[in-house]
Amino acid sequence: MKTALVQIGNSRGIRIPKAFLEQCQLRDTVELELRDDHLIIRPTVQPRSGWDDAFRLMHDHGDDTLLDEEAVSATEWDTTEWEW
């Protein structure tokens, strides 16, 4: 598909058809990368996206327990002197 560059202030832009936006899941922000003579546009990935689902699966499979209980066991100070 060919498209024209449009003037946007001192820059240039392109109009991306709605079907392309939906298929590529492009929303409000995108990642731009210049590789050789190609401009790559991809959706941004939110940091930690999918972690909730991953943690839920870990819990369902019993993989969310501490590996080293002794390393974090409460000391006498923790149980007698510490106050919130």
pLDDT at 50: 87
The pTM of the full predicted model, rounded to 2 decimals, is 0.51
Would the pLDDT of 74 be above 80?
A: no
Residue ranges and CATH numbers for the domains of the chain are 1-66 (2.10.260.10)
pLDDT digits (tens, 9 = 90+) for 36-51: 999 999 999 878 888 9
Give the Cβ contact number of residue 40 at 10 Å: 10
Place of tokens 């996206």: 49
* Residue 14, C-beta contacts closer than 8 angstroms, at least 6 positions apart: 3, 4, 5, 6
